[in-house]
Amino acid sequence: MLHYQTFGAGAPIYLLHGWALSGRVWDSVIPALTQYGQVIAVDLPGHGKSDLPAGGCYDLDAVTEELVQIISGNAIVIGWSLGGLIALNLAQRYPELIAKLVLVAGSPQFVRSSDWPHAVEKQVIQGFAQGLADDYRATIQRFLAIQALGSEQARLTIKGLREKVFINGEPQLTALQEGLNLLTNCNLRPQLSNIHCPVLILLGEKDTLVPAGSGTDTARLLPNARLAVIKGAGHAPFLSHMSVFMDITTAFINESSQHTQRTHR
């Protein structure tokens, strides 16, 4: 069973967090978002207070099916990192449910390949997978630190992530392992042409996990996308550059989508 918290009233805005964290990572932006609808902060399966998917399978479709059970129509989905990958799958499988999609430091393919250069080497994610068996707490902390690399507000970002990482309980080892498998092996690029709702691709200029260069390539594959790059931000722009993040996101919520590319200072 999925755990989630709701705030405010109005059109639904779902928040999907990244690997090893929980819906509480969004605490700082939730009050502002409630001015635009009812905010639902979800703990992904096996994270926070949520159970693993029913049946024991933890692939992308199984996780998506868990989310479908709580998502009503005309939804805005904001997905960060791993949550963004899941949000893309949700939008292409259940287009009737999604009004708009915000992809925060997310990508349809997280690992580098010959035809997808703006990504991390496979060995980086595999290194975290190997570390889980030895000391999963230390591995999570190392992963959080990498998310802040390059950011102008690195110390603030790490502090924010570390404060939230276990606040809803510790993630289950299966969810951690399978979440890394999703980041390593999933390639949703062929499915992006099926996503016709407006999509905001919101990236950090200094992100080392999802390089900003991936944004242009992702936008080309989506029928209705706009790209914004936050100058000086790393992998968690909603923590390091919250004001700019909110300005861009709320403008997108309120406006019709256009094919634009912007760099925000």
pLDDT tens-digit map of 72-94: 999 999 999 999 999 999 999 99
* Catalytic annotation, pick one of 107, 235, 240, 241: 235
Rounded Cα distance, 93 and 165, in Å: 30
Average pLDDT over residues 42-56: 94
Residue 81 annotated among the catalytic residues of the structure? yes
> Which are the contacts of 198, defined by CB distance < 8 A and separation ≥ 6?
99, 100, 101, 224, 225, 226, 252, 256, 257
Residue 235 annotated among the catalytic residues of the structure? yes
Other C-beta atoms lying within 10 Å of the C-beta of residue 111: 19
Task: Please work out, in degrees rounded to the nearest 5, the angle formed at the alpha carbon of residue 20 by the alpha carbons of 19 and 23.
Answer: 85
* Catalytic annotation, pick one of 207, 214, 240, 241: 207
Residue 241 annotated among the catalytic residues of the structure? no
Confidence category of residue 263, pLDDT binned at 50, 70, 90? very low
Residue with tokens 């902390």: 141
Residue 152 has pLDDT above 80, yes or no: no
Confidence category of residue 261, pLDDT binned at 50, 70, 90? very low
* Catalytic annotation, pick one of 3, 17, 43, 81: 81
Confidence category of residue 257, pLDDT binned at 50, 70, 90? very low
**Fold classified for 3-264:** Rossmann fold (3.40.50)
Identify the pLDDT of residue 139. 80
Which of 65, 69, 49, 67 lies closest to 57 in space, CA to CA? 65
Rounded Cα distance, 246 and 206, in Å: 18
